[in-house]
Structure 1
Amino acid sequence: MSNKPTTPEPLEAAITQADDRLLADHWMPPQAGIVPRVRVGRRWISVLWALPIGTAALMVLIAVAQAAPPVDSGFPWWLQVQHFLNMFFMLFIIRAGLQILADHPRLYWRRHCTPGTDWFRFQRPVPKGRVWTAKDDSVTLPTWLGIPGLRHTLGLARWWHFSVNLLWVINGVLFYGLLFATDQWRRLVPLTWEVFPAALSTAIQYASLNFPVDHSWTRYNGLQELSYFVTVFVAAPVSIVTGLMQSPAIANSLGWIGRLLNRQAMRSIHFLSFAWFVTFIAMHGVMVFITGLRQNTNHMFAGVENDSWAGLPLFLLAMAVLTAAWLLASPFTRRHARLVQRTGRFMIGWLKTLATRMDPKTQF
């Protein structure tokens, strides 16, 4: 029998098995970060200033004129199912993504990561006069926020992030196909420039708390249309491409393209796309309640347009599933770390193998 390793990485075959659990008292000690800051020129500004300003601006702009063409099918069953799956997958993608970012809580536009050139951070400045490693830089996220919520658990977070991303991409491809196979694409794709001036007109109405009449069963209003278009056709593809471009094997194999679209710039754009998704989800959730919980839950969870409460029980059930998944994700990962690794390897191991078989050239 041959003793040759079955993996393209010989050292991987020699790795010994460890405990299935993550033991917090055997792990790196916690290290708190700071409030996220963005560099503007030479000054670092806390993002907390952006919260009230951004929230006010979004609340003013969230409702715009009825510019989208109507559809005849309302909200079909496949759209309801994919809406829930998208929420479920994004829960894990966002939390695992934050855990990955917490391992190096700084963002750059240049690939060299020279201390002091970061434009975003939630860690203190790199100290001078001593060696500062990735372990030193990593910060602890709360268990309810990161997965698994322990400092410097990059590997487990990546298994979660990449595996669930694969499911999210599959769901998205199906969504694209069904969207254009039906009339649902007309909800999301602006067909005239009238949507922009109409948005300003209705924003003034909204600012005066005079909400426009909702016609979402047959068409979205202007800002809904624009925000969904950016989310589905811009932010989602950008997230996928910039995620792949962070792989050294992929980026280095692309030559000058990999140098132009360097990994650190891709991290930054990936983060901006993440910020769009978080903002969109938060505002979307707020507007579900503000513009009519019964009507909105009937549309998206029951697929009906009436005055019943048919959608509310299904909405509450979906929220219960999401809450349970949120609460159990980190404890499950800590207790079954090896199972998470094996599951991740089963789902995306083929992609990892493809990457390791590339012939990357070092970027200069």
Structure 2
Amino acid sequence: MAASAAPVESVGAPPAVPTPSAAAAGGPASATAPASSTESAEPAATVSAPSSRPPSESGLARYRPLTLRQWVGASVVGVLAIIGAATIVVQLTRWFLGLEAMQDFLATYPGETPLPEGAPVGLPAWLGWQHFFNVFLIVLIIRSGLQVRTERRPPAYWTPRWSRGGQGRISLTLWFHQSLDVLWLVNGVVFVVLLFATGQWMRVVPISWEIIPNAVSAALQYLSLDWPLEDGWVNYNSLQVLAYFATIFIAAPLAAITGVRMSGLWPKGATRLNRVYPVEWARAVHFPVMLYFVGFIVVHIALVLLTGALRNLNHMYAAQDADGWLGFWIFVASLVVIAGAWIAARPTVLAPIAGVLGRVGR
């Protein structure tokens, strides 16, 4: 915004008298001198101060610090840089794996550890349904969690029906986030119970220290773009096992424990408990765990599509070891449902639902 115009005085000339508009604009106060009757009041010449807004190039609109053309150029350069860096990593990994010592390492540790006797073969239908429910909920949890962090003025507030004096009042967005958390926890408990009841835990829980070098072997094979031989219908490779174990038994409990600490379910008057487990610790862990889930989902989807999409999707959604299109279309239908829920998750839809369990208002 341009600064207020300031009068320019010439040496020996009487100071200019400030106009009401200049004074109202907050310009600097000028000394005044009475004008003689023989002198005509000539207005002083003024010079506009330079604008503090950075000029746009050729009148192009700016988006934050850059113009649209500059953003496109920066994006192209960034993509090319990523492709170049990835190419270098792939070539270096292939050279490294071509060494005699690494060939012996790959022969000893092919990237997969054998399952214990009695391990189930195949993926049951309940696992496919659990997979869909988990993806459905975690996507909405991430969306609502980001909204809670960036929201400045909530569209509405929710108060429990049993509350007195407005206690427990939270934003409608936070109510939606916490409600999804509860459903996700219930789904997770059912998943873990079925996992151990059916023996499927043997496929995602490390049972030998050999899984570490095998996971390193699998990671190097992925980096070389020479995918490790795998058959997810029978056994996951060691890197997959570690990733699934970390997600199910480490990241998910951390998300639950830290989420409960920051929610209204946590007892406010438990002084000793609050001292042992400060809310600052929960906040410091909760957001990085969310970033882990985002990264896991991105890498997981990329590898599913790049390492045999039709067969992998049949494993995950159709409970069959085949190369048909059934799993693909179930996957597409699930994306439609998730997209519909994403669009529908707005205050006009959430408020009536929240009103069943509490009071919604401003």
Instruction: State if a TM-score over 0.5 links the two structures.
Output: yes
Aligned-pair CA distance for 1:202: 2.6
Are 1:268 and 2:281 counterparts? no
Q: Percent identity?
A: 37
Q: 1:288 aligns with which of 291, 304, 308?
A: 304
Are 1:319 and 2:335 counterparts? yes
Matched pairs, number: 247
- Counterpart Cα distance in 2 of 1:203 and 1:169: 31
Match of 1:250, SS state, is coil
Aligned-pair CA distance for 1:191: 0.4
The change in CA–CA distance for 1:257 and 1:74 in structure 2 (over 3 A counts) is same
**Aligned equivalent of 1:92:** 140
Q: CA RMSD in A?
A: 3.3
CA contact (8 A) 1:294 1:311 kept: yes
Are 1:302 and 2:313 counterparts? no
Instruction: Give the AA of the match of 1:271.
Output: F
**Aligned equivalent of 2:211:** 195
CA shift digits 1:155-176 (9 cap, x unpaired) = 1111111111111111111111
Are 1:165 and 2:181 counterparts? yes
- Counterpart Cα distance in 2 of 1:139 and 1:77: 40
- Counterpart Cα distance in 1 of 2:252 and 2:114: 21
The change in CA–CA distance for 1:314 and 1:338 in structure 2 (over 3 A counts) is closer
Match of 2:240, SS state, is helix
The change in CA–CA distance for 1:291 and 1:263 in structure 2 (over 3 A counts) is same
CA shift digits 1:203-252 (9 cap, x unpaired) = 22222221111211011111111111111111111111111112477364
The change in CA–CA distance for 1:185 and 1:68 in structure 2 (over 3 A counts) is farther
TM-score (norm 2): 0.61
Aligned-pair CA distance for 1:273: 1.2
Relative contact order higher in (CA < 8 Å, ≥ 6 apart)? 1
Aligned-pair CA distance for 1:52: 6.2
- Counterpart Cα distance in 1 of 2:292 and 2:218: 22
**Aligned equivalent of 2:111:** 65
Match of 2:171, SS state, is helix
- Counterpart Cα distance in 2 of 1:73 and 1:139: 49
Are 1:342 and 2:355 counterparts? yes
- Counterpart Cα distance in 2 of 1:195 and 1:33: 48
- Counterpart Cα distance in 1 of 2:260 and 2:345: 25
Structure 1 residues without counterparts, runs of 5 or longer: 1-31, 35-47, 104-134, 141-153, 350-364
- Counterpart Cα distance in 1 of 2:329 and 2:212: 37
- Counterpart Cα distance in 2 of 1:89 and 1:340: 17
Larger Rg: 2
CA shift digits 1:301-358 (9 cap, x unpaired) = 111112322312211111121122222323xx2x245314214549xx9xxxxxxxxx
The change in CA–CA distance for 1:301 and 1:221 in structure 2 (over 3 A counts) is same
Aligned-pair CA distance for 1:93: 0.9
- Counterpart Cα distance in 2 of 1:220 and 1:296: 12
TM-score (norm 1): 0.61
CA contact (8 A) 1:160 1:344 kept: no
CA shift digits 1:231-280 (9 cap, x unpaired) = 11111111111111124773644433412321122112111111111111
Moved more, 223-232 or 320-329: 320-329
- Counterpart Cα distance in 1 of 2:221 and 2:353: 50
- Counterpart Cα distance in 2 of 1:167 and 1:161: 10
Q: 1:231 aligns with which of 223, 233, 247?
A: 247
The change in CA–CA distance for 1:191 and 1:343 in structure 2 (over 3 A counts) is farther
- Counterpart Cα distance in 2 of 1:94 and 1:166: 14
Match of 1:245, SS state, is helix
- Counterpart Cα distance in 1 of 2:349 and 2:336: 23
**Aligned equivalent of 2:68:** none
Q: 1:240 aligns with which of 235, 256, 262?
A: 256
CA contact (8 A) 2:154 2:172 kept: no
CA contact (8 A) 1:68 1:221 kept: no
CA contact (8 A) 1:92 1:160 kept: no
Aligned-pair CA distance for 1:68: 5.3
**Aligned equivalent of 1:178:** 194
Instruction: Give the AA of the match of 1:342.
Output: G
- Counterpart Cα distance in 2 of 1:68 and 1:159: 45
Aligned-pair CA distance for 1:178: 0.5
CA contact (8 A) 2:178 2:263 kept: no
The change in CA–CA distance for 1:239 and 1:310 in structure 2 (over 3 A counts) is same
- Counterpart Cα distance in 1 of 2:138 and 2:356: 18
Structure 2 residues without counterparts, runs of 5 or longer: 1-62, 66-77, 94-109, 156-169
